[in-house]
Amino acid sequence: MGIDKAHLVLDGETMLERAVRNALATEQPVAVSGMDTPEAWTLPSIPFIPDLIPFAGPLHGITRLLEHFMSPLLVIGCDMPLVTPDALEWLIGQAGRRTGEEGLTVIDRSGTVQPLFSVYTPAVLARPDVDSGEGSTATFATTSSSTTTFSTSFSSSARVVIETGRFERIAIPEDLEAALWSVDTPADFELLRGGSASNPSSSSI
């Protein structure tokens, strides 16, 4: 994209503000990883926990959040603007019923895991391939019905942790699958600004 996607403006608010606003609607605690509190932050005060290692990717930041809260975390990316409170409530409900030892991962209709729309438990921190930043930068993400976390970028390391870990897998319902769409290119963002953000069922997404 050429810029931090968290700061892209859509309908008068940044992508980060949009993600946080939707998460707050679930009435769960919300935190942001990977940055300091933006200037002129107008939404309710929440924890902003910066990375120890710049540009280390979301897994590093989410590990920081896991260590901060010491509880499971529900993780999404702020570049997923079609995530709605309904989609978050669905995942929170699923996590309350069927989370594996290391977490619960959502899969799309093709069977692909979605690392930034998944639930991770503190058990992941015991893995040898996870580090908070003092040593290696290969880390992972975490989440639960007690904390919702947003990450500003994507790293395939999260996928590796899920695919090699003890995660329950669950398919997302068809009526919520639009929530998995992410803004990866300028063309994606232009498509979003064309109206699809207000109509997740639009065939243009």
Task: Give the highest mean pLDDT range of 58-67, 165-174, 191-200.
Answer: 165-174
Here the tokens at position 160 are 């590796």
Averaged confidence pLDDT in the chain? 80
CATH number (domain holding residue 113): 3.90.550.10
**Are residues 141 and 72 in contact, defined by beta-carbon separation less than 8 angstroms?**
no
pLDDT digits (tens, 9 = 90+) for 165-189: 999 999 999 999 999 988 888 888 8
| 67 lies in some domain | yes
Task: Please give the tally of structural domains in the chain.
Answer: 1
User: What's the rounded mean pLDDT across residues 48-67?
Assistant: 80
Task: Indicate if the alpha-carbon torsion angle 138, 128, 123, 92 is positive or negative.
Answer: positive
Is 6 part of any domain?
A: no
Summarised one tens digit per residue, pLDDT across range 34-55 is: 888 988 899 999 999 888 877 7
Please report, as a single letter, which amino acid is at residue 143: T
Whose structure tokens read 């939707």? Answer: 22
For the ranges 41-45, 75-79, 132-136, 137-141, which has the lowest average pLDDT? 137-141
pLDDT band at 68 (very low <50, low <70, confident <90, very high): confident
Pick from 69-83, 148-162, 188-202: least confident:
148-162
What is the C-alpha separation between 14 and 5, in angstroms, rounded?
9
Reply yes or no on whether the pLDDT at 99 is more than 60: yes
Q: Is residue 71 part of a domain?
A: yes
Is residue 94 helix, strand or coil?
Answer: helix
Q: Residue 133: its pLDDT value, please? A: 59
Question: Is residue 101 in some structural domain?
Answer: yes
Residue 50 within any structural domain of the chain: yes
Say if 2 falls within a structural domain.
no
What pLDDT is recorded for position 88?
96
8 belongs to a structural domain:
no
pLDDT for the residue numbered 135: 40
Nearest CA to 88 among 41, 20, 142, 35? 20
pLDDT in tens, 104-121: 999 998 999 999 999 988
Residue 110, number of CB atoms within 10 A of its CB: 5
pLDDT of residue 63: 83
Residues 189 and 197: their CA atoms lie apart, in Å, by: 10
CA 50 to chain centre: 15
30 within domain boundaries = yes
- Distance separating alpha carbons of residues 73 and 146, to the nearest angstrom: 7
Give the model's pLDDT for residue 167.
Answer: 93
Task: Tell me the per-residue pLDDT of 6-27, one tens digit each, with 9 for 90 and over.
Answer: 888 888 899 999 999 999 999 9
Averaged pLDDT, 48-70:
80
Specify the residue for token string 């009526």.
Answer: 175
Range of the domain at 154: 13-36+43-191
